[in-house]
Structure 1
Amino acid sequence: MANRFPPSLRPTPHFISLKREVFGRVTQCRIGHCFTGEYYSQFVPSEGIDCPCGEQFQTREHLLRECPQYEDQRHVLEAVSRDISLPEILGTKKGIAALAEFLESSGAFTKTGKPRQPPKLPSVEDEPELEDSDDDDG
């Protein structure tokens, strides 16, 4: 359902414009190789398959269409497809753009299910203290 574009020798526009982490989640969501109970049931049986919202079997469709955890961000997907049709969201340029915006703001399809925090930049205070050298050789 997500494979609706012909092969190309050039990178797709969303490949060029998206942050690496969001692009990765878009790709994972499109191919179904993502942090969901549906995936875990087949490939990582040691992980739980339920959704934190209480749904017994977490699927890609559940996260995009129904999960109350992402209700506040779902309007982005509904603007492209009122019923959040997976072929439309996962397989059209407008759908993929909306999916990327939804994923970035919601944190859906991350291990924690929450938006990723930007890495903390190091500061001078984080640098280790250098000890004075008492060498007499020098």
Structure 2
Amino acid sequence: TGHGYIGEYYSKFVPSKNIDCPCGEHFQTRKHILRECPQYEQDRYLLCKVSDTISLATILGSEEGIEALTSFIKKSGAFTRDGAPWKAKGGPTY
């Protein structure tokens, strides 16, 4: 659907928000985040394990690819509001 906390979304639906990537790229897109952004370079290997070219069709076309994308997002914080890696919440407190 294109919804997300990135410049590509903001340019269409929240024009008052900055569309630049924190790395300095003028227009932050899904492609830039997944394939090019130096901010996510250290975690991109998770995607490359299932698709050398980081093809969304390949990644989203298999369970292994979806798991890799989930791991990439959790580890890198890509596509999240604050850009922070995902942290598991503790169990219930009694």
TM-score by length of 1: 0.60
CA contact (8 A) 1:38 1:58 kept: yes
Number of the residue aligned with 2:66:
96
Q: Does 1:37 align with 2:16?
A: no
CA contact (8 A) 2:75 2:86 kept: no
Amino acid corresponding to residue 20 of structure 2 in structure 1: D
Amino acid corresponding to residue 15 of structure 2 in structure 1: P
CA contact (8 A) 1:61 1:86 kept: no
Q: CA RMSD in A?
A: 1.8
1:49 is paired with a residue whose SS is: coil
Tell me the distance in 1 between the aligned counterparts of 2:31 and 2:55. Answer: 9
Tell me the distance in 1 between the aligned counterparts of 2:71 and 2:40. Answer: 12
Q: Does 1:76 align with 2:46?
A: yes
Higher relative CO (CA 8 A, sep ≥ 6), structure 1 or 2?
1
Amino acid corresponding to residue 89 of structure 1 in structure 2: I
Compared with structure 1, are the counterparts of its residues 112 and 82 closer, same or farther at alpha carbon in structure 2 (3 Å cutoff)? same
Runs of 4+ more than 6 Å apart: none
Number of the residue aligned with 1:87:
57
Task: Determine which structure has more spread, i.e. the larger CA radius of gyration.
Answer: 1
Q: How much does 1:104 deviate? A: 0.8
Tell me the distance in 2 between the aligned counterparts of 1:38 and 1:110. Answer: 14
Per-residue CA deviation, residues 53-74 of structure 1 (Å, 9 max, x unaligned), is 0000000111011111111110
Give 1:52's match in structure 2, choosing from 22, 25, 32: 22
1:71 is paired with a residue whose SS is: helix
Q: How much does 1:118 deviate? A: 4.8
Q: How much does 1:95 deviate? A: 1.5
TM-score by length of 2: 0.86
